Homo-oligomer: A and B are copies of this chain.
């Protein structure tokens, strides 16, 4: 039997993630910890939710600890979720966990984290990752039943997060930048099907006009970067993030085009 897997995502820097891993290993020495990232954009709950959603389907069934938590120490609740695939998710009740929970089959149980017996003895106001979430995740990974963490709550009462959506209008797609990755690729809301609804099946080389901030850029639809010259922008289906994206071969679309989180973008067949 292999050791339990615990994945871990935060916007923490310095030694904070390692301090949490120390707490986890103090409770469950055999845990195999997969740090999803600790470079999630600071305070950006939506980015964390999006990254969890993109990575968890590829992780073994396990316990998934995520903390992007601008409300730490306030009245916001901590939650543990069970999902249909068999995983447990642990983190703040601010929407962070919900898209991933949905992608893992949907929530089968939600509990409010209230049982202090599973926390560290001393709980700070500003580091619940270390004092509450990490120990609760470690206890769940070591076999503690989810009902032990606190009372059941109605999943419908959990805090939801707003995600921008793509809207078809006048032979174009109104969308916006959902996430900028480390290469500068810009994932926008919507999928290839939204473009196909506008112009039929997509083929490499199909031309589109991308408009934002009062200007337009001509791009082609491509399957991958290397089919255009370095520096040339493309529109493509991003495999990491499962949907439409703007990229630049061997460059940063964000820098080259001047795109950032939430830039409004319109895509039209050209």
Which chain A residues in 1-49 approach chain B with CB under 8 Å? Answer: 2-3, 5, 7, 9, 12-16, 18-23, 25-26, 29-30, 32, 34-37, 39, 42-43
| Chain B: minimal CB distance from A193 (Å) | 16
| Chain B: minimal CB distance from A117 (Å) | 19
Can you list 8 residue pairs at the A/B interface with Cβ under 8 Å? Answer: A14-B182, A19-B59, A21-B34, A22-B58, A43-B250, A70-B226, A71-B226, A126-B237
Asked if A39 meets B26 with Cβ closer than 8 Å, knowing A125-B224, A249-B70, the reply is no
Docked CA distance A259–B269 (Å): 45
Contact of A15 among B2, B9, B13 (CB under 8 A): B9
Which chain A residues in 69-103 approach chain B with CB under 8 Å? Answer: 70-74, 76
- Write out the residue numbers on chain B whose beta carbons fall within 8 Å of the beta carbon of A36: 15, 18-19
Taking Cβ atoms with an 8 Å cutoff, the residues of A that contact B are: 2-3, 5, 7, 9, 12-16, 18-23, 25-26, 29-30, 32, 34-37, 39, 42-43, 51, 54-55, 58-60, 70-74, 76, 124-127, 130-131, 181-183, 223-227, 236-240, 249-250
How many monomers of this protein are in the complex? 3
- Write out the residue numbers on chain B whose beta carbons fall within 8 Å of the beta carbon of A51: 14-15
Closest Cβ neighbor of A242 among chain B residues: B124
Q: Decide: B127 and A73 in contact? CB cutoff 8 A.
A: no
- Write out the residue numbers on chain B whose beta carbons fall within 8 Å of the beta carbon of A72: 224-226
- Write out the residue numbers on chain B whose beta carbons fall within 8 Å of the beta carbon of A227: 73-74
Q: Decide: B239 and A125 in contact? CB cutoff 8 A.
A: yes
- From A13, A26, A250, name the one whose CB has the most chain B CB atoms within 10 angstroms: A13
- Write out the residue numbers on chain B whose beta carbons fall within 8 Å of the beta carbon of A239: 124-127, 130-131
Contact of A37 among B14, B29, B76 (CB under 8 A): B14
Closest Cβ neighbor of A37 among chain B residues: B15
Contact of A13 among B16, B39, B54, B236 (CB under 8 A): B39
| Chain B: minimal CB distance from A126 (Å) | 4
